[in-house]
Homo-oligomer: A and B are copies of this chain.
Amino acid sequence: MGRLINKSKSEIGQSPFDLSFRGKKRSDHILMRVIDFDPEKVLEVQLNEFREIKQFMETDTVTWLNVDGLHDSSVIEQIGEIFELDPMMLVDVLDTEQRPKVQEYDECIYISMKMIRYDEKENEIHKEKLSLVIANRLLISFQERQGDVFDPVRERIRKHKRKIRNSGTDYLAFALLDIVIDNYIYIISTLGEKIEQLEDDLIDNPTRDMLEQINDFKREINYLRRLIHPSREMINALSKLDTELFDHEENGVHWKELQDNINLATETSDGYREILSDMMNIYHTTVSTKLNDIMKFLTIFSVIFIPLTFIAGIYGTNFDNLPELHYEYSYHTMLAVMVIITIGMIFYFRSRKWF
């Protein structure tokens, strides 16, 4: 299974109205949670039957339905029927390989985005698809699996936070997307801290497994960048959306903040990418400098012995007439000459700054 993309042959040429789950099953059953609120009261329910949702729809409150698990397309289809959603939107919800997307429909807006999770142990980033359907007093969010990512928003709804309880679904959507993007920044920051730590270690003393770590971080940062970059386009499209569902007067500042945050995320991930690339260079330079020093030292060491061994070789020959062999102090002279040669060579190499 490719990590960047997955497309099976059977998906080619499917009608854009064919409902089938196109992804990896990440959850066993489908969990549906409803939060229904207005400035006065909050109601939280976990649904067993889809039909129970109807009661919330007749009221004037804001209803947020959160669906965790996408693998059962029949469930998604029933949700579509109850809320009279466009079939194409349901297909989009089920296609987990899709690019981040904003699509305006007659009565609602469809937004999709990647959520990411960082597994520190494996040093691996996992992606998950999030779809939001924003209607007048209804917001449906679809996640691939159960998670507590949106708990801070639930908490803010419960805790009577002024703004969120008084606003419509657009502000709620902002709050959810804000968490997703904050999460991007948090993960980049977590990775970044590790990368900067590694950088310090690298400058102190590079070891071989640092290279592997650099490569690992590089892969994850690149993976992250490919996930985040297309979102930037989507958030831009979103903040320019001309729809009655969005109160730009009131909430425009929030959409602008989302743009700022996604830009911060992309810039910072690009920054860490450059840093990793520089670290790679530093590693290679340091390692090759060290290696060169060793090889130079060893070569110089060898070279010093070469003439000495040669001299010994000469006096090891068995010529009948080799007069030096018979002088009394020729052995000692030879040793002395060898010492002089050695000192001379060391001196010469030093003077040329070879070691």
Q: Which residues of A contact B (CB under 8 A)?
A: 1-9, 11-17, 88, 97-99, 101, 103, 150-153, 155-156, 161-164, 175, 178-179, 182-183, 185-186, 188-189, 192-193, 196, 203, 208, 211-212, 215, 218-219, 222, 226, 229-230, 253-254, 256-257, 260, 263-264, 267-268, 271-272, 274-275, 278, 280-282, 284-285, 287, 289, 291-292, 294-296, 298-303, 305-310, 312-322, 324-331, 334-335, 354
Contacts and interface: CB of A to CB of B under 8 A. Distances in A.
29 contacts: A4-B275, A5-B268, A6-B189, A7-B182, A7-B185, A7-B186, A12-B179, A12-B186, A13-B153, A14-B152, A15-B161, A15-B163, A16-B257, A99-B264, A99-B267, A203-B215, A215-B278, A219-B275, A230-B263, A284-B285, A294-B299, A309-B310, A310-B312, A312-B317, A316-B317, A317-B334, A319-B334, A320-B326, A321-B330
Contacts of A178: 13, 16
Contacts of A254: 16
Contacts of A310: 305, 308-309, 312
A215 B282 contact: yes
Number of copies: 5
A11 B312 CA distance: 74
A254 B298 CA distance: 65
Given A99-B263, A321-B329, 20 more contacts: A2-B193, A5-B188, A5-B189, A15-B163, A15-B175, A16-B257, A17-B162, A101-B260, A103-B256, A211-B289, A215-B278, A218-B278, A222-B274, A226-B271, A302-B306, A315-B319, A317-B318, A317-B331, A319-B324, A319-B331
